[in-house]
Structure 1
């Protein structure tokens, strides 16, 4: 015997389904309208900042996506260049050009003159890439530290990014991104730190953290 409760649910099912369809139709109309309104085609400046883990990883994901679509990409690595980089191992084999500061973390070198010289060296390569119309995507990994420590001139960096080829996308990663870069950016994502294994004494894991 079918219970009264099950009978009631069966009777209401068409009504529930119709309300759901109506809600989804309204949502679709809103999404379609936004898609229709977004017709500008341009190179984007994307900023990935915040204190959480995953900023560079997200940037490398976009580089991989671009390469998967046949775009040309290049990466400038600041700060962490002294470490082996799994993404670099993979993407170089896919034709992605890399230029690496290769001094490691600034608290390890403790040599501002050396770090400034290294930053200026790879920034020179970045400027070349940011003026090259054949390069579709340029990732400036951890460049925010270079601006915080004043190894690079903020106005010069902003000007070069602003003057890049119109179709070229630029990905900026690193903590404490300068407000002027954030204001210039088309897309800004902040990665927050809720919990990190390192805080509980777990060492960085190959293939996950580096």
Structure 2
């Protein structure tokens, strides 16, 4: 018989990545599952400013601790600023402290893979976080890409692949549905 109680579970590392939508939504679904089972959850948002986004609202309602490191507004490679690098380094340091603390069952590192893709942090920084993870702590990493070295060290990778998107036809994001 397997014992699947919360106290005996091994924490895993999951990645949600790809060019399709749903990466953060998938992470928030995992948060919902964890909170519903009484687990302690922390979320660290890389490269996202404090806005009226659905994920922040639901985290507050669920009483999940979260911290946001980023400028408000859309960020593309043409839009990067020195401040982005500073904020990503701060997010990385904060995330490492939260992971090492051992007080969380689940830590979400939203858009950490994008921070690495844009060169604000390195793959070795992410690997350091993975090695700092206590046995019982699970991690979720999101972003459009995942580094090959990071991919080798994680337990689960799900790809969100865009097949068709209304934005390609000029339909903008809808409040309450897309954000």
Q: Same fold (TM over 0.5)?
A: yes
Higher RCO by CA contacts (8 Å cutoff, separation 6 or greater): 2
Larger CA Rg, structure 1 vs 2: 1
Size of the aligned set, in residue pairs, is 174
1:93 aligned residue: 61
| Aligned mates of 1:109, 1:79 — CA distance in 2 | 14
The correspondence for 1:62, drawn from 1, 18, 30, is 30
Q: CA RMSD in A?
A: 2.1
- The 8 Å contact of residues 106 and 115 in structure 1, kept in 2 or not, is answered as no
CA contact (8 A) 1:103 1:109 kept: no
Are residue 158 (structure 1) and residue 158 (structure 2) matched?
A: no
TM-score scaled to structure 2, two decimals? 0.89
Matched ranges for 1:127-138 at <5 A? 127-138=96-107
Structure 2 distance, partners of 1:155, 1:182, is 12
Partner Cα distance (1:160, 1:171) in 2 = 11
Aligned positions of 1:158-197 closer than 5 A = 158-197=127-166
Q: From the superposition, tell whether residues 190 and 120 of structure 1 become closer, same or farther in structure 2 (CA, over 3 Å).
A: same
* CA distance in 2 between partners of 1:181 and 1:108 (Å): 22
For 2:92 and 2:153, the matched residues in 1 are separated by 19
Matched, 1:121 2:93: no
Aligned to 1:13: none
Q: Deviations over 1:28-66 (max 9, x none)?
A: xxxxxxx97x9x941100010111110110011101110
Q: Which runs of 4+ in 1 moved over 6 A?
A: none
Which runs of 5 or more structure 2 residues have no equivalent in the other structure?
A: none
SS at match of 1:98: strand
TM value normalised by structure 1: 0.76
Gaps of 5+ in 1: 1-34
